[in-house]
Structure 1
Amino acid sequence: MCAHVMVAEDDEKQAELVRRYLEREGHAVTLVRDGRAAIESVRRRPPDLLVLDVMMPRADGLDVLRVLRAEARELPVLMLTARSTEDDLLLGLDLGADDYMTKPYSPRELMARVRTLLRRTRLGPPADRVLSVGTLAVDPDRHEVRVDGDQVECTPGEFRILAAMAAEPDRVFTRQQLLEELHGFDRYISHRTVDVHIMNLRKKIEPAPRRPARLLTVFGVGYKLADPAKAKSAGRG
């Protein structure tokens, strides 16, 4: 699975190490040394995957992510950070990162994460139909989400979660099952990753995110995607 991977990393030795590992797996690699260069390079030639360091000159990785997601760019982003607190990591996910690794990291594990993101982004869910749950429609082929006919922009991670749940409405998914949709069997990823994606999805698909009617919490178990109209009808019955 050869791909174009951009590595935004100001540490020259670290960038060269990542480049060598990526090229060894057959990928074409573009290296950039600062945040502004990363934004400009993505605009000129969008990569299949962006490996993005948080601490960079001229614009840090979080600012880069803010700009790219504001432009509705859906490329998968793997963040590298020396900040190991949960709040810092969740902030990256909240801004639309698909995965993260804390420094120091194993290059072999980094390559495994890259393979997982590329595989899931390229294959995605089955693309033979639009998945509808009430007035929510998920189109895997076009990578589109619509609510009441209006398009909603989702990150690749958010889209994978929503597509999996839309394929089986009313099924209760555990956090672990949703993590497997995101990253496969990965013991290094926290269940809080799923919670952040769910929170962000609610902001996008719910009229009142604090009182969700579509993306529901099943306490002690996980989450499910439901049709609000059916729930109202059942309540009247």
Structure 2
Amino acid sequence: MIYCLEDDESIRELVTYTLNTQGLEAQGFSKPSEFWEAMQKSIPDLILLDIMLPEEDGFSILKKIRTSSMTKRLPVIMLTAKGSEYDTVRGLDSGADDYIPKPFRMMELLSRIRATLRRAGDEEAAIEEYQIENLYVCPSRHIVTVDGNNITLTLKEFELLCLLLAERGTVLTRSQLLDRIWGYEFDGESRTIDVHIRTLRQKLGEAGSLIKTVRGIGYKIEDADK
């Protein structure tokens, strides 16, 4: 089940209709109060969340979802008319799994939803631990520390860091990163990867310098002995 919290009736009905006809059961809500009432009865597999809503804004709702032990890992995709880089960063930094500005294409939305659901259903965790200089990462326990201090990352930031570590020494293009983390092909001038790299470096502090930019290509983390 997918919940769509969207106060624009035309968008809400189009999204839920399309999802239901594509084999993805969906239910729409126009108000946060209706959404929270449904959440008390049943937790969905994924949430499509607008930002500008009556009663309560989407950022507040996302924060509540991420602070609850029952829903902290529940996939959330934000659908919003707020498409500036600031709003994108804020949404992703608040824990959104993806952020799609309006107007969006329905086939792209379906692709991103399916990719997010696939990742959420894959419970296989890596056993390997990574220690490079002052950075320590344990994927299976979802632990990241710098100089022994715990670092809090969003799910996408964590997945991006783990991928760069798993492929350390290899330059990964923006297209490869987008496809392997978000599950869809690189499209035009998307800045999704650059935004995530920027915030990831900021959160890692001094260890952020381990993530190298390869001009005109992408990003990499060097082997420990480089």
Normalising by the residue count of structure 1, what TM-score does the alignment of the two structures yield?
0.74
- List alignment gaps of at least 5 residues for structure 1: none
Cα deviation, residue 53, structure 1: 1.2
Cα deviation, residue 223, structure 1: 2.0
Cα deviation, residue 121, structure 1: 2.9
What is aligned with 2:101? 102
- The structure-2 alpha-carbon separation of the partners of 1:188 and 1:91, relative to structure 1 and needing over 3 Å to count, comes to farther
Contact 1:80 1:103 in 2 (8 A): yes
What is aligned with 1:136? 136
Partner of 1:157, secondary structure, is helix
RMSD: 3.2
Partner of 1:50, secondary structure, is strand
Partner of 1:208, secondary structure, is helix
What is aligned with 2:110? 111
1:26 correspondence with 2:45 = no
Cα deviation, residue 8, structure 1: 0.9
Contact 1:7 1:30 in 2 (8 A): yes
For residues 184-199 of structure 1, what are the structure 2 equivalents within 5 Å? 184-188=183-187, 190-199=189-198
- The structure-2 alpha-carbon separation of the partners of 1:188 and 1:71, relative to structure 1 and needing over 3 Å to count, comes to farther
What is aligned with 1:127? 125
Distance (Å, rounded) in 1 between the aligned partners of 2:143 and 2:34: 30
- The structure-2 alpha-carbon separation of the partners of 1:196 and 1:168, relative to structure 1 and needing over 3 Å to count, comes to same
Distance (Å, rounded) in 2 between the aligned partners of 1:57 and 1:163: 38
Contact 2:63 2:94 in 1 (8 A): yes
Cα deviation, residue 168, structure 1: 1.7
For residues 213-232 of structure 1, what are the structure 2 equivalents within 5 Å? 213-226=209-222, 230=224
For residues 1-237 of structure 1, what are the structure 2 equivalents within 5 Å? 4-35=1-32, 38=35, 45-69=42-66, 73-123=72-122, 127-134=125-132, 135-140=135-140, 144-147=142-145, 152-188=151-187, 190-204=189-203, 206-208=204-206, 212-226=208-222, 230=224
Cα deviation, residue 196, structure 1: 1.7
Contact 1:138 1:166 in 2 (8 A): no
- The structure-2 alpha-carbon separation of the partners of 1:14 and 1:225, relative to structure 1 and needing over 3 Å to count, comes to same
Cα deviation, residue 151, structure 1: 5.2
| Per-residue deviation, residues 97-142 of structure 1 (Å, max 9, x unmatched) | 3323333333333222211221233237x635224233422325x5
Distance (Å, rounded) in 2 between the aligned partners of 1:221 and 1:90: 22
- The structure-2 alpha-carbon separation of the partners of 1:202 and 1:37, relative to structure 1 and needing over 3 Å to count, comes to farther
The one-letter amino acid of 1:160's match is E
Cα deviation, residue 145, structure 1: 2.8
- The structure-2 alpha-carbon separation of the partners of 1:173 and 1:188, relative to structure 1 and needing over 3 Å to count, comes to closer
Partner of 1:74, secondary structure, is coil
Contact 1:174 1:222 in 2 (8 A): yes
Distance (Å, rounded) in 1 between the aligned partners of 2:128 and 2:33: 37
Identity %: 36
The one-letter amino acid of 1:7's match is C
Distance (Å, rounded) in 2 between the aligned partners of 1:131 and 1:216: 20
User: Which of 109-118 and 92-101 deviates more?
Assistant: 92-101
Cα deviation, residue 38, structure 1: 4.4
Across the two proteins, how many residue pairs are aligned to each other? 221
- List alignment gaps of at least 5 residues for structure 2: none
Contact 2:160 2:181 in 1 (8 A): yes
Distance (Å, rounded) in 2 between the aligned partners of 1:68 and 1:169: 33
Normalising by the residue count of structure 2, what TM-score does the alignment of the two structures yield?
0.77
Distance (Å, rounded) in 2 between the aligned partners of 1:181 and 1:163: 12
